[in-house]
């Protein structure tokens, strides 16, 4: 949601493109399609709340109206999800993340299976100059060779961490599509390879924003940073980092509360990651107890145990 949202709200708007956002695209897409609609853009899983969208259901409705469907597949990577097989017209990835996987390249890619689109987009790429350097391409190629290994390991690690978080009394809710408790688990089983959940997850910590920030300072293996999809595990607080530019009411309407922590699991040992998360949780919640004005039942207006998805 972060970088693409900035493009839609600021860059596209300046070029006269009207954009409508919706968190529940699968149920109300018809309401959003007008005579001038050209494109439906899906982020599945969504960043940072890990909601899923049924690509086939949306593509079927969009195509009935002659509208193209683009899927941002950055969180899943092409190893876990292949949106073109589910009816999407274009798939985009931040290659910076899983495809490269080593946090040393900034690159993007658009994939499609139409000669017509290839002709149009190749022309635009050349005319606009969106061409990666030879060295970056070489690095991304090196990364892609181990994508399948990294994606499997990141999924195993995120599953272990998500289960540990779900069992913790310090956690209000866990957003991870690999858990049976996820409201869109059925879509994950249909759309993701072997129902895999990927390496990304988010959770709401008890103790509000202060506890979320403290958690990210107290982890020893997870590094506090905004990126994701690399071999090293990262954590961040979306409300004050990746999603700080979105007004609070809009953020909270889609589940991005001040106490949300986003985690990107790398390829380290699962037991080490679990232990790291649990010790940071324990300390963050203890240290911020009594401090939080926006903690559970506080200014955010949610009740303990409320589902964010
Ligand atoms: C789902 C998703 N798509 C796209 C991007 C944009 O990536 P980049 O900044 O590498 O273009 C991000 C960045 O975090 C993302 O999370």
Nearest atom in ligand 1 to the alpha carbon of residue 107 is 10
Q: 5 alpha carbon to ligand 1 midpoint, in Å?
A: 10
Binding site membership of 94 for ligand 1 (Cβ less than 6 Å): yes
- pLDDT band at residue 298 under the 50/70/90 scheme: very low
pLDDT, mean of residues 121-135: 95
| Res 280: pLDDT | 98
Query: Which ligand 1 atom is at minimum distance from the Cα of 108?
Result: 11
| Fold classification of 2-144 (topology level) | 3.40.640
How far away, in angstroms, is 73 Cα from ligand 1 center?
10
**Domain range 147-288, CATH class:** alpha beta
Tell me the per-residue pLDDT of 177-219, one tens digit each, with 9 for 90 and over. 999 999 999 999 999 999 999 999 999 999 999 999 999 999 9
Position in ligand 1 atom list of the atom nearest CA 96:
10
Residue 295 has a pLDDT of 41
Whether 43 lines ligand 1, by a CB cut-off of 6 Å, is yes
Residue 236 Cβ contacting ligand 1 at under 6 Å? no
- Whether ligand 1 lies within 6 angstroms of the CB of 103 is answered as no
Residue-wise pLDDT tens digits, 60-71: 999 999 999 999
Which one of 3, 78, 132 would you pick to mutate in the ligand 1 pocket, going by the greatest count of ligand atoms within 8 A of its CB? 3
**Is 263 within 8 Å of 216 (Cβ atoms)?**
no
What is the pLDDT confidence band of residue 22, given thresholds at 50, 70 and 90?
confident
Q: How far is the CA of 74 from the centre of ligand 1 (A)?
A: 7
Ligand 1 center to 94 CA (angstroms): 5
pLDDT > 60? residue 309: no
Query: What spacing in Å lies between the alpha carbon of 77 and ligand 1's midpoint?
Result: 12
User: What's the pLDDT score for residue 292?
Assistant: 55
16-43 burial: b if 16+ Cβ within 10 Å, else e: eeeeeeeeebbeebeeebeeebeebbbb
Q: Whose CA is nearest to atom 11 of ligand 1?
A: 94
**Distance from residue 114's CA to the centre of ligand 1 (Å):** 24
Per domain, the residue ranges of the chain are 2-144, 147-288
CB of 4 shorter than 6 A to ligand 1: yes
């Amino acid at each position: 949601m972060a970088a693409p949202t900035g493009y839609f709200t600021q860059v596209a708007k300046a070029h006269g493109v009207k954009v409508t956002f919706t968190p529940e695209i699968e149920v109300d897409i018809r309401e959003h399609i007008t005579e001038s609609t050209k494109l439906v853009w899906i982020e599945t899983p969504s960043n940072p709340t890990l909601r899923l969208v049924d690509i086939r259901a949306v593509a079927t409705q969009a195509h009935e109206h002659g509208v193209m469907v683009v899927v941002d597949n950055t969180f899943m990577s092409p190893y876990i999800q292949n949106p073109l097989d589910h009816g999407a017209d274009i798939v985009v990835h931040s290659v910076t993340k899983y495809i490269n996987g080593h946090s040393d390249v900034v690159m993007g890619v658009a994939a499609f299976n139409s000669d017509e689109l290839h002709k149009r987009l190749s022309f635009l790429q050349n005319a606009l100059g969106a061409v990666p350097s030879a060295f970056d391409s070489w690095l991304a190629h090196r990364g892609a060779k181990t994508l399948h290994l990294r994606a499997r390991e990141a999924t195993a690690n995120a599953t272990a961490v998500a289960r540990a978080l779900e069992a913790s009394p310090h956690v209000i809710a866990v957003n991870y599509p690999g858990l049976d408790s996820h409201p869109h688990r059925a879509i994950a089983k249909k759309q993701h390879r072997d129902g895999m959940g990927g390496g990304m997850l988010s959770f709401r910590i008890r103790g509000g924003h202060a506890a979320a920030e403290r958690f990210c300072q107290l982890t020893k293996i997870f590094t506090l940073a905004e990126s994701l999809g690399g071999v090293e595990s990262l954590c961040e607080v979306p409300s004050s980092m990746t999603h700080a530019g979105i007004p609070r009411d809009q953020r909270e309407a889609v589940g991005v509360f001040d106490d949300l922590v986003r985690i990107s699991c790398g390829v380290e040992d699962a037991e080490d990651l679990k232990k790291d998360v649990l010790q940071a949780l324990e300390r963050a919640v203890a240290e911020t107890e009594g401090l939080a004005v926006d903690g559970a039942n506080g200014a955010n207006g949610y009740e303990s145990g409320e589902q964010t998805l």
